[in-house]
A and B are shown apart, each in its own frame.
Chain A
C-alpha cells in the first residue's frame, strides 16, 4: 500500500522539506507553521527562508528540516519533499529533486513539463483554498495535503501550530483550509497516481 510506503519513507531522520512558490503565497508562514508543529512533537527543527527584495511575486522558498538528532547545516541539501505553488518555482526546483523526492504541485498553477514517469501529486490546492473561503489559505491547504501524504507531524500538533501562528480573526478559515487539504489528499493515500 502506498500509505505504508510514504509512512516509512518519512520516518526518515532528518527529513528535508522545501516549500516553494511566489512571494505572497504564504510559503514562509507555511514553513513556520510546520516547524512549530514539529516543536510541539518534541523534535529538533530548523526553518529557513529565501526570498527577493519584493513583498509580492518573485521567487520565494521556505525550508524545514525535522530531526530527532542535532541539526547542524540548516538548509536543505536534498529535498525529501518538494511543494511547488508556482510554475517558476517548479521549473527552478524540480531539477534538484530525485526519484525519492515526494512532489506536491498545485495543478491549477503548474503544468509539469519535465516528467520521468515518477509519482507526482498534482492537486488543485489554490482552487480548494478558494472554495474554502479564500485563495490566501492555499499555503495551509498545502500543509494539510503534505502532512496527510507524508505524516511529518502529528495532525493535532499541526492544528495547534496553525492556531498559534495565524491571527485570531482568520483562525476558523485556516482550520477549515487545513481540513480541506487533508481531505484532498485522503483518496491519494491509498493510490498511486502518475501525472503527465
Chain B
C-alpha cells in the first residue's frame, strides 16, 4: 500500500448554474459571450469572474443575437466557446444556431428553461423548449440536445456538450430549467484529468484543407484560406446548389443520426422486469425516481428510463423494449412535447403511451406520477394526496 492516502475530496455546496460554468471551464471553454437573463444569469456572472483568471475572454454583448454570433466567431478562431440564456434569448439565438449548424461550428448553447412563451414567468420552471431546441431554426439541420437532472449532472453534461460539439462539429444545446439552475446540492467535482476531453480534429496539413468535407477543422489564421457561409456550400465553402447541396445536407445530418447510439445517453432502472415504464428527462426524473421506489414497495412492476440526450432521439431504446412492458408514461413540464417522439418511436407496436403534463410553474411531484400509474394500470385507488404548494 502506498503511504499516501488518496486525498478525500470535500464536497461543496454548488448551484446548478455554477456547476455549468465549472463544467465549461473544465472542458476548456475559453470564450463566453452572453446577455444576462433569469434563470441563467449566474452562469454568466461566474464566467465573468473566472474566465479572466485563465486568460479567457468574456464579453457582455448587446443582445442574444450578438452573443451567439460572437460565440461562432470565437469557435472559428479556434476557441471552445459557449453562451447561456433562457427562453426569450434562446428564441433570438435561433438564426445563429442555424448558421452554426450549416457551417459545422462547434459551440455550446445553454438554455435554462422558464415558463411559457414570450416573457412568461422568469422565475418559474418548465420543460417547454424541447421542440424548439430540436427544431427551432429553419431547415433540416444537425444539433445535439442534452439535459441534466441534478447539480453534479449539470457539470458532467456540460463537459459532454463540449465533447460532442468538438467531436461532431455541431452546436450542442444543453437544456436546464429554473429549478435545476438555482438549486444547490453537495457535490464533489472531478479533478483535472479525471474526465476525457475531446478536441476538434486537425487536418494533417493546412495546404489543400477542405473545411466542409469531414470532421477536421482548422481555425482562421492557421495557414489555410477558405470561405465560411450560411449559404449552401461545397467542400471548399463556396456556394453550391442541386446535387451538391443535397449531398452536403445529408452529410451534416448523418454526422448525428448515424451516431445516435454513441450520442444518445440515458440511465435505466428495472428495465428487465418492468410492466410500466416511466420515460423521463431533466428535473422531472427526480420525481420519477421517488415514484419508482414507492410503486416498487407497493409491488407495482415499474421501471424508468432517464434520457440525458433528447436529440437525436434514441429510437433504438424503444425498439428493444421487451413484451413485458405494456405501458409508457411520459411526465414533462409542458403540454406534450417529447411524448410525441416516444409515440413515434413505438408506433405500430403493442405499447400504450400516456402523457402527464404540468404547466403551473411547479415541479411534477412523485405523488402525481404514482397516481398517474395507478390510473394507467388500474392497480389502486390513489392514496391520500400529499399537500403540495
Q: A residues within 8 Å of B by Cβ? A: 32, 35-36, 38-39, 42-53, 61, 71-75, 77-78, 92-93, 95-96
C-alpha gap A156/B290 in the complex (Å): 32
> Which chain B residues in 145-177 approach chain A with CB under 8 Å?
150
C-alpha gap A96/B184 in the complex (Å): 24
CB of A79 to closest CB in B, whole Å: 9
CB of A61 to closest CB in B, whole Å: 8
- Residues of chain A contacted by B12 (CB below 8 angstroms): 39
Report B44-56 CB contacts with A as 1/0, cut-off 8 Å: 0000000000000
- Residues of chain A contacted by B229 (CB below 8 angstroms): none
Taking the complex as formed, is B365 at the interface, i.e. its CB lies under 8 A from any CB of chain A? yes
The prevalent SS among residues of B at the interface is mixed
- Residues of chain B contacted by A50 (CB below 8 angstroms): 123, 389
Taking the complex as formed, is B253 at the interface, i.e. its CB lies under 8 A from any CB of chain A? no
- Residues of chain B contacted by A93 (CB below 8 angstroms): 389
* B186→A45 contact, CB < 8 A: yes
CB of B120 to closest CB in A, whole Å: 10
Known: A46-B185, A48-B183, A96-B389. A77 touches B123 (CB 8 A): no
C-alpha gap A72/B298 in the complex (Å): 19
Report B1-44 CB contacts with A as 1/0, cut-off 8 Å: 00000000001110000000000000000000000000000000
CB of B365 to closest CB in A, whole Å: 6
Taking the complex as formed, is B251 at the interface, i.e. its CB lies under 8 A from any CB of chain A? no
* A77→B183 contact, CB < 8 A: no
C-alpha gap A61/B367 in the complex (Å): 21
- Beyond the given pairs A48-B179, A93-B389, 12 more chain A to chain B contacts, judged by CB atoms under 8 angstroms and listed by A's residue number, are A32-B13, A32-B184, A42-B11, A43-B186, A48-B182, A51-B123, A53-B122, A74-B179, A77-B365, A77-B366, A92-B389, A96-B388
* B11→A39 contact, CB < 8 A: yes
- Residues of chain A contacted by B297 (CB below 8 angstroms): none
- Residues of chain B contacted by A36 (CB below 8 angstroms): 13
* B185→A45 contact, CB < 8 A: yes
Contact of A72 among B121, B290, B386, B388 (CB under 8 A): B290
* Interface pairs (13), CB distance under 8 Å: A32-B13, A35-B13, A39-B11, A47-B13, A50-B123, A51-B123, A71-B185, A72-B286, A72-B290, A72-B366, A75-B363, A77-B367, A92-B389
